[in-house]
Copies of this chain bind each other. A is one copy, B any other.
Amino acid sequence: MFSIQIMRMSEGVEWALHECLNLTWLEPGEAVTAARLAKFYELPAAYLNKQLQALARAGILESTPGPRGGFRLARRPEDITVMDVVAAIEGPESAFRCQELVRRGPGDHEGVDYRKTCSISQTMRRAELAWRRELAAVTLADLKETVETRNPTVPGEVRRGFARLKV
A-to-B contact residues, CB < 8 Å: 2-15, 17-18, 21, 40-42, 50-51, 54, 57, 82, 89-93, 95-99, 101-102, 104-107, 119-120, 123-124, 126-128, 130-135, 138, 143, 146-147, 150, 153-154, 157-158, 160-161
19 extra interface residue pairs, beta carbon distance < 8 Å, beyond A2-B57, A4-B50, A7-B7:
A5-B10, A5-B90, A7-B9, A7-B10, A7-B90, A8-B93, A13-B96, A14-B99, A14-B101, A18-B102, A41-B101, A95-B95, A105-B161, A119-B143, A120-B143, A123-B138, A124-B135, A130-B130, A130-B134
Given that A128-B131, A143-B120 are known contacts, is A8 also in contact with B97, CB under 8 Å in the complex? yes
- Residue contact B18 to A120, C-beta cutoff 8 Å: yes
Cβ-closest chain B residue relative to A85: B120
- Residue contact B4 to A105, C-beta cutoff 8 Å: no
- Residue contact A123 to B135, C-beta cutoff 8 Å: yes
- Residue contact A6 to B127, C-beta cutoff 8 Å: no
Which are the 3 A-B pairs with shortest beta-carbon distances?
A: A3-B91, A127-B134, A6-B91
Closest Cβ of chain B: how far from A4's Cβ, in Å? 5
| B4, B91, B161: the one within 8 Å of A54 (CB) | B4
- Residue contact A157 to B106, C-beta cutoff 8 Å: yes
> Within the oligomer, what is the number of copies of this chain?
2
- Give the residues in chain B near A18, CB-CB below 8 Å: 101-102, 120
- Residue contact B130 to A126, C-beta cutoff 8 Å: no
Give 6 A-B contacts (CB < 8 Å), ordered by A residue: A2-B57, A9-B96, A14-B99, A106-B158, A107-B153, A123-B134
